[in-house]
Amino acid sequence: MTAVAASATAAVRFPRIRFRPRVSISGTLSGAVGGLGVVVLLQQFAIAYPTRSLTIVGLIGGAVVHLLIVNAGRAANVSRLNGRLSAAEARLAAAPTVPGFVVTHVVPPTGLEARAEPDAVQPVAAVLAGGVELQVLQQTGDWAHVMGGNGWTGWVDARLLQAVRR
């Protein structure tokens, strides 16, 4: 997690989407069969005689090409979506400060996960970078409803917040 310098606005870091390659047995087998088909076509057009090594290369090559084609599109989509998340973070950081915003607490240097509701079962809505200044609006048990300087609100673990001394 990268730390963002503290400012009057809440620096929000959304969780990134991880690339996970897809490997399916049926897809890999169909790619291998496609490679075998290329070997047969090479024989039919009298370009190459199908030796054992050419057949093996055709099978493996077809499977690899199939995996590359399937996962290249997924990698491009993950990259595009992570770029959109970065752009959204930049827009939030550039948002104007809310009138009446008073800094009462700071996010610890390790950062802090924020949720939409005061429940640990809820998915993480954002990850606040260390040093971000917040105003505590309400506290319920171990949860604090906080607001950033740009008007963003969320629920965080109140035990981890650092109080600002005045």
The amino acid sitting at 41 is L
Model confidence pLDDT, tens digit, residues 68-90? 888 998 999 999 999 998 888 88
Residue owning tokens 């409803």: 145
Sheet holding 162-163, edge to edge: 12-13, 124-128, 112-115, 153-157, 143-148, 133-140, 105-106, 162-163
**Residues sharing a CB contact under 8 Å with residue 142, sequence separation 6 or more, in sequence order:** 157, 158, 159
Question: What confidence category does residue 3 fall into, taking pLDDT thresholds of 50, 70 and 90?
Answer: very low
Model confidence pLDDT, tens digit, residues 109-165? 999 999 999 999 989 999 998 888 899 999 999 999 999 888 889 999 999 999 988
pTM: 0.47
| Whether 21 contacts 74, CB under 8 Å | yes
